[in-house]
Amino acid sequence: MTANDKIARTSLLISAFGEDEAGEAYLTAFDGYVYRLRVPAERGPAFPRTLTDTGLFASVKDHTPAAGLIPYTVSVPLWSDGAAKDRFLVLPAQAKVVYKDRDQWQFPVGTVLVKTFLMNTDLEKPKEMRRLETRLLVHNPRGWEGYTYLWNEEQNEANLLADWPLTKQYDVKTATGPVKREWYFPSRSDCIACHTQNAGFVMGLNTRQLNRELEYGKVRENQIRVFERLGIFSEPLLKTAGDLEAFPDWQTKTAPVATLARAYLDANCAMCHSPGGRGHAGGAAMDLRFHEPLREAFPGKSNWLTPGDPTRSVLLKRMTMRHDNAQMPPLATNCVDEEAATVIRQWIKQLPSR
């Protein structure tokens, strides 16, 4: 009889297992290091089973954040089948964030990122939104770990999902009648597949994404300046908001198409498609970081990008397909991002042939 016992939970992207001459188990990860297992000193308390138990919301039913949660938004969101998102940052008392102009910010142990996903359930009533899930990304002494809370039918509580993913169908009203929409709830390992060590684990919380205004009650202010005024940075900023890098607003799409395209690829793809990422090996060795020159981003004669010809560019083809092991992004999306595909298509058409 075969048994599969869970012996550990990790945020590492494991690539292989092995053992030495003494029979000790070792494992390797995509970060290039070799690891071995050890017995933890002691087991910590169980993670909260409900969103209420986390204490993150003063009212879970009304989705009212508790004191200390800092709302934020991003200029170029990660594609999540068109879902709306409410985002919050929680920091431990007196802890500081290491600010970087261009690189990923560094967050202290104890940081929690909170993101609630909402689906429009009546397309003729844009404000008819249903909460689907609330995801937590928690920085504990072991590293970053993801947790998913599934909202109930009454929309007054969300319950912690187990360690495996879940897919559910929801009814959405349209002008031609109701349709079924699928939603994929990620497992804990799914979360770390995108929140990679290569990307600094935290996506979206960087200068180019956050250098924009947000409504705080009746006031609109620049988010980075609000963060600075709250004292969360370890050092004072030396530049004004106008001198800091900023992504274009994806909603308005008023920036040049090349800027929009590179910003989208940075936000949605670079966590894997960059040096050290799981999608950077072999024929997929693209570097989709925003600042990477185009020739270095698509080296050699790669067919991922064929300047002037979208139909021969695998990058666009993979974005517009939805099949296991072929679609991009590979996880937690069942619908093609048609707006992004249009932008990428226009960008490729404008590129001069090499």
pLDDT tens for residues 144-180? 889 999 999 999 999 999 878 899 999 999 989 899 9
- pLDDT band at 18; cut points 50, 70, 90: confident
- Which residues are CB-contacts of 303 (< 8 A; sequence separation ≥ 6)? 312, 313, 314
Question: Could you tell me the CA-to-CA distances from 126 to 76, 84, 176, 192, 281 in Å, in that order?
Answer: 21, 11, 16, 32, 42
Residue 119 pLDDT greater than 60, yes or no: yes
Residue 114 pLDDT greater than 70, yes or no: yes
Residue 191 pLDDT greater than 80, yes or no: no
pLDDT over 70 percentage in the chain: 88
pLDDT at position 69, please? Answer: 97
Q: How far apart are CA 77 and CA 84, in angstroms?
A: 10
pLDDT at position 330, please? Answer: 75
Radius of gyration, CA atoms only, the chain: 21
Residue type, 252: T
Residue 193 pLDDT greater than 80, yes or no: no
Phi-psi region of 332 (alpha: psi -120 to 50; beta: other; left: phi over 0): left
pLDDT at position 96, please? Answer: 97
pLDDT at position 68, please? Answer: 94
How high is the mean pLDDT of the chain? 88
Record the tokens describing residue 163, joined without a space.
């360690």
Question: Could you tell me the CA-to-CA distances from 78 to 41, 205, 332, 352 in Å, in that order?
Answer: 38, 12, 11, 28
pLDDT at position 4, please? Answer: 64
Give the mean model confidence (pLDDT) for residues 119-144.
Answer: 92
Q: How far apart are CA 161 and CA 165, in angstroms?
A: 8
Give the mean model confidence (pLDDT) for residues 51-57.
Answer: 98
Give the mean model confidence (pLDDT) for residues 63-68.
Answer: 96
What are the backbone dihedrals phi and psi of residue 339, each rounded to the nearest 5 degrees, phi first? -65, -45
Q: How far apart are CA 150 and CA 62, in angstroms?
A: 16
